[in-house]
Amino acid sequence: MHSWLSILPPVIAIAVAIWRKEVILALVVGIFSAEIILASGNPLTAFVETAERCVDVFQSAGDTRVLLFGLLVGALLELIRASGGVSAFVQRLTQSGLTKSRRQVSWLASIIGMLIFVETSMSCLAAGVVSQPLFDRFKMSRARLAYLVDSTCAPVSVLVLLNGWGAYILSLIEPQLEGQAVAIMVQSIPLNFYALLTLAAVAYTATTTRVHGPMKQAELTLNIAGSESVEAPTQSRFMIVPMIVLVGGMLSFMFLTGDSEATGILARITSGSGSRSVLWAVFLATVTAIVLLKVHGRFKYPEMVQLSMKGMGHLLPVVIIMLLSFAIGAACKELQTGPYVAGMVGDFLPAFLVAPLLFIAAGFISFTTGTSWGTFAILIPVGLPLAASMGLPPAFVLASVLGGGVFGDHCSPISDTTIISSLASGCDHLEHVKTQLPYALTVGVVSVALYALVGLAL
């Protein structure tokens, strides 16, 4: 369905989320509006299909793994929190002198996000789990942490490219520019203005510890309310061992699920299954935490079951949001929202406007569908031939699409990476979206201007 109606469901969902501040309600309304369009206005059919659309999410093994991952993360976080391991780890960091200031704590969160670039979800999770109590100690809001985590992980992943992102993007470029894919990807790195400027904004925030706009208000509210109580320190191993198993398991499972014919260890890891690996790694880390706590007599088995259920319950709203996000994404795919937006760019534009408008189109598609990868699949096959026909460097156009996809992800309340960043940081999801939006929009506007200026210079 290539018509303006195809963009209504995501726009309605986002409008309701802003109006009512209820993400779950907004997503349900968005899915229902999509089904109304698909059912040619029949409300009864749309009602039934809304429920079926949610059920259909579980037909995707990858989506189901992500949902289970969310629940297991809740169990793992609650176990290591209640054990006192997080408090003990924070105490050790404080005594070591590595976290004596807001600046050091902010940089710690950012650096962790940069180092674990193999898988975005794992990067967000590790940075968030380690940093939550440190941010609480220095009276910095969870919204600030969610921003640093979200604005580090995806930009680094799309720039480093030695991960699943790189393998996926290569697979999209190769059919368009056979034999040149790797070279084009490397050339696109310094032209990915959004990713580079976002990391510069993260560096500014971490170094100066200043925040602006809604995030400043979140900080003021936190200082008035104070931070929540934490468990008394016990042994830092209760946190360190599960986290090592988590990251090590992730890398190991990426290797095991990777292409056995790949050349080199890194190539095999980057070709692995991200959804399988994160689920298996979190499951292994949770089992490790349970065994560790049992061996050391910290909790009895029934207590750990109760704690695990409590943790899952805390994250159940986030898992429901992820479920509904997958559902509305599938509905938008059936409505062909992405191709419609891509078609609006057209091939009648002046050459210098191609890159900035592809950036805007990528941002809008990613914003309304909640997926940067889906955006890449739509616009890379459109953008590269367009670049060739207009005499533009393919790396320049590719960078605009990649940056635009990440930009839309950062602005969208239905993006999986945005949701996982909220989850990992212990931040209210809408607060994360609201406080990150001014930063993302500012960098996005500057990026559009830079693409236009470079386009004029070519």
pLDDT of residue 315: 77
- The DSSP line for 129-141 is HHHHHHHHHTT--
d(CA 329, CA 419) in angstroms, rounded, equals 14
Provide CB contacts within 8 A for 46, sequence distance 6+: 32, 35, 36, 38, 39
Give me the residue spans of the domains in the chain. Answer: 4-58+327-457, 60-163+194-322
Residue 21: how many other CB atoms lie within 10 Å: 13
d(CA 50, CA 307) in angstroms, rounded, equals 33
Q: Phi-psi region for residue 288, left (φ > 0), alpha (ψ -120 to 50) or beta?
A: alpha
Could you tell me which of 328, 311, 313, 225 has the C-alpha nearest to residue 17? 328
The b/e string for 322-356 (b: 16+ C-beta within 10 A; e otherwise) is bbbbbbbbbbbeebbbbbbbbeebeeeeeebebbb
Q: Are 332 and 6 in contact (CB under 8 A)?
A: yes
Q: Are 425 and 215 in contact (CB under 8 A)?
A: no
Could you tell me which of 115, 138, 144 has the C-alpha nearest to residue 243? 115
Relative orientation angle of helices 193-208 and 102-115, to the nearest 10 degrees: 150
pLDDT in tens, 63-77: 888 788 878 888 988
pLDDT of residue 50: 96
pLDDT of residue 236: 80
Q: 95: which 2 tokens?
A: 């005594």
- What's the 3-state SS for 363-395? HHHHHHHCCHHHHHHHHHHHHHHHHHHHCCCHH
- Which strand (E) or helix (H) includes residue 222? helix 214-225
pLDDT of residue 83: 87
DSSP state of 224: H
Q: Are 383 and 365 in contact (CB under 8 A)?
A: no
pLDDT in tens, the chain (458 residues): 557 888 888 778 877 876 776 778 888 998 999 999 999 999 999 999 999 999 999 998 878 887 888 788 889 888 987 888 877 776 777 677 777 889 999 998 898 888 766 567 767 877 887 888 888 888 899 999 999 999 998 898 888 765 667 766 776 787 777 767 777 888 899 999 999 999 999 999 999 989 998 998 888 776 544 444 455 557 888 888 988 898 888 789 888 988 888 778 877 876 777 678 878 988 999 999 999 999 988 899 999 999 999 989 887 887 887 788 788 878 888 888 767 766 665 545 687 888 998 899 889 888 887 778 777 877 787 778 778 777 889 999 999 999 999 999 898 888 878 888 888 888 888 899 999 999 999 999 999 999 999 988 87
Q: Look-up: residue for tokens 């992980």? A: 153
d(CA 443, CA 431) in angstroms, rounded, equals 19
Q: 138: which 2 tokens?
A: 């220095």
Q: 120: which 2 tokens?
A: 């975005």
d(CA 344, CA 70) in angstroms, rounded, equals 36
Could you tell me which of 79, 84, 74 has the C-alpha nearest to residue 301? 79
Map residue 292 onto helix, strand or coil: helix
